[in-house]
């Protein structure tokens, strides 16, 4: 097997490396599934690199890594290679009321060329959620594409399409049906050999169904959505990189319940370019965009050049991102302090043991 077939940019890496290069196809609680030039294998992280020194970023699905290949058992991951893109969110799921605890970056996938933001045209369509996806996707370093699924269920979806196009500025929007195959040919430009596409969206949006339609066979499980509220059943439970016969890699992901902002300065600039064009144009440079005279934002809204909802969304996401950034910095320093304390404690108990041994 040649790792280049999995999108490995071999020209950027030395062939004299002591280790072997690999791509992460799935992560299962500390166990990594990889593809290497020798075929598929499983691996764990090398503790001295990932846990003791905390120098490397934890690998995620889609990452290229360097490993110590073991022909007889589990290999060891020794380095996470530089990413060309990553989708990171603040993982708010499963936390209590104390907001400070909810600051946790989750890197969903890495090294992809396109992010397919998937929402179904019937019950799942949600513009506020779409704005979140677009902001995080622009930040990822790859190109976002909106894919509206289940077109076969709606006779006329022109209104939905128009409202999505209004907020997905500079982004291609496609309506498709995995069931009938409608619109799938229109995605051909993204599915070029060697490219990687990550599928994101709520449970039940039809991500795995599109994987299967592209593969021409069942590679991922698909389950009916709940009839009472049309919610998905969280069928896909881990992120999986699949190489299609066409030489394209697809990363299927579980439906995400929460989509908290992380570092999104670039993402906000791109996804809210309609808002950004008015910023900095106010009469006063320190304008708070409240009741000051000559406020360009206020005038744009009054003149109908900017939708109020867009301004509101922009403020909400910006505020959330600033809060997260603040807390993340705080928690990082706290983590560092805790690690230092643990090392000291370990050293101290070692010294105490040695002193006691000397006494006996």
Chain residues binding ligand GTP by CB under 6 A are 149-150, 152-153, 177-179, 201, 203-209, 222-225, 232-236, 254-255
Report CA-CA distances (Å) from 170 to 39, 166, 262: 40, 10, 22
Q: How far is the CB of 250 from Mg ion (least distance, A)?
A: 12
232 binds, among Mg ion, ligand GTP, none (CB under 5 to 8 A by kind): ligand GTP
Strands 39-45, 75-80: pairing is parallel
Contacts of 67 (CB under 8 A, 6+ apart): 19, 20, 21, 22, 34, 36, 43, 75, 76, 77, 78
DSSP assignment string, 80-91: EPPPS-EEEEE-
Nearest by Cα to 90 from 80, 81, 82, 100 = 100
160 binds, among ligand GTP, Mg ion, none (CB under 5 to 8 A by kind): none
144 binds, among ligand GTP, Mg ion, none (CB under 5 to 8 A by kind): none
Q: How far is the CB of 199 from Mg ion (least distance, A)?
A: 8
Query: What phi and psi, each to the nearest 5 degrees, are found at residue 197?
Result: -125, 130
Is the CB of 137 or the CB of 208 nearer to ligand GTP? Answer: 208
Is the CB of 207 or the CB of 310 nearer to Mg ion? Answer: 207
Rounded Cα distance between 269 and 305, Å, is 18
Q: How far is the CB of 236 from Mg ion (least distance, A)?
A: 3
229 binds, among ligand GTP, Mg ion, none (CB under 5 to 8 A by kind): none
Is the CB of 200 or the CB of 317 nearer to ligand GTP? Answer: 200
Rounded Cα distance between 330 and 332, Å, is 6
Q: How far is the CB of 244 from ligand GTP (least distance, A)?
A: 16
Using CB under 5 A, list all residues that contact Mg ion.
207-208, 235-236
Is the CB of 25 or the CB of 177 nearer to ligand GTP? Answer: 177
Q: How far is the CB of 115 from ligand GTP (least distance, A)?
A: 15
332 binds, among ligand GTP, Mg ion, none (CB under 5 to 8 A by kind): none
Is the CB of 104 or the CB of 179 nearer to ligand GTP? Answer: 179
132 binds, among ligand GTP, Mg ion, none (CB under 5 to 8 A by kind): none
Backbone CA torsion sign across 34, 40, 42, 46 = negative
Is the CB of 141 or the CB of 255 nearer to Mg ion? Answer: 255
Contact 50, 84 (CB under 8 A): no
Nearest by Cα to 137 from 184, 100, 163, 172 = 172
149 binds, among ligand GTP, Mg ion, none (CB under 5 to 8 A by kind): ligand GTP
Is the CB of 60 or the CB of 208 nearer to ligand GTP? Answer: 208
Question: Which two tokens mark 55?
Answer: 């120098």
Is the CB of 135 or the CB of 235 nearer to Mg ion? Answer: 235
Is the CB of 177 or the CB of 196 nearer to ligand GTP? Answer: 177
179 binds, among ligand GTP, Mg ion, none (CB under 5 to 8 A by kind): ligand GTP
Rounded Cα distance between 211 and 20, Å, is 29
Count of beta carbons in the 10 Å neighbourhood of residue 263: 15
Q: How far is the CB of 287 from ligand GTP (least distance, A)?
A: 43
Q: How far is the CB of 254 from Mg ion (least distance, A)?
A: 7
234 binds, among ligand GTP, Mg ion, none (CB under 5 to 8 A by kind): ligand GTP
For residue 34, list its beta bridge partners: 24, 41
Q: How far is the CB of 314 from ligand GTP (least distance, A)?
A: 28
Query: Helices (DSSP H) in 148-264: which residue ranges?
Result: 158-167, 207-215
Contact 95, 102 (CB under 8 A): yes
Quote the distance between the C-alpha of residue 253 and its chain's center: 9
């Amino acid at each position: 097997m040649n790792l280049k077939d999995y999108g490995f940019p071999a020209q950027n890496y030395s062939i004299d490396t002591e280790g072997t290069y690999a791509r992460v196809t799935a992560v299962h609680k500390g166990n990594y599934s990889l593809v290497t030039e020798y075929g598929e294998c499983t691996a764990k992280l090398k503790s001295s690199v990932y846990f003791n020194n905390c120098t490397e970023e934890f690998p995620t699905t889609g990452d290229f890594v360097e490993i110590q290949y073991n022909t007889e058992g589990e290999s060891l991951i020794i380095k996470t290679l530089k990413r060309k893109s990553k989708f990171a969110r603040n993982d708010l799921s499963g936390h209590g009321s104390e907001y400070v605890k909810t600051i946790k970056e989750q890197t969903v996938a890495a090294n992809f060329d396109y992010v397919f933001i998937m929402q179904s045209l019937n019950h799942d369509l949600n513009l506020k959620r779409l704005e979140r996806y677009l902001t995080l996707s622009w930040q990822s370093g790859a190109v976002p594409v909106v894919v509206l699924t289940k077109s076969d269920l709606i006779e006329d979806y022109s209104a939905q399409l128009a409202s999505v196009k209004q907020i997905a500025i500079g982004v291609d929007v496609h309506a498709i049906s995995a069931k009938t195959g409608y619109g799938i040919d229109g995605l051909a430009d993204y599915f070029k050999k060697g490219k990687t596409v990550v599928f994101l969206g709520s449970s039940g949006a039809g991500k795995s169904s599109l994987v299967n339609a592209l593969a021409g066979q069942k590679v991922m499980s698909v389950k009916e959505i709940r009839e009472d509220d049309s919610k998905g059943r969280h069928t896909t439970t881990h992120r999986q990189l699949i190489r299609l016969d066409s030489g394209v890699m697809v990363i299927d992901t579980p439906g995400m319940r929460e989509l908290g902002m992380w570092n999104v300065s670039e993402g906000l600039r791109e996804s809210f370019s309609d808002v950004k064009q008015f910023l900095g144009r106010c009469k006063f440079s320190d304008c708070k965009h409240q009741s000051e005279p000559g406020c360009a934002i206020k005038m744009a809204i009054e003149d109908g050049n900017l939708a109020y909802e867009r301004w509101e969304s922009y403020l909400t996401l910006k505020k959330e991102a600033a809060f997260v950034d603040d807390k993340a910095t705080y928690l990082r320093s706290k983590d560092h302090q805790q690690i230092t304390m643990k090392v000291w404690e370990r050293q101290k108990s070692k010294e105490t043991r040695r002193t006691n041994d000397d006494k006996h």
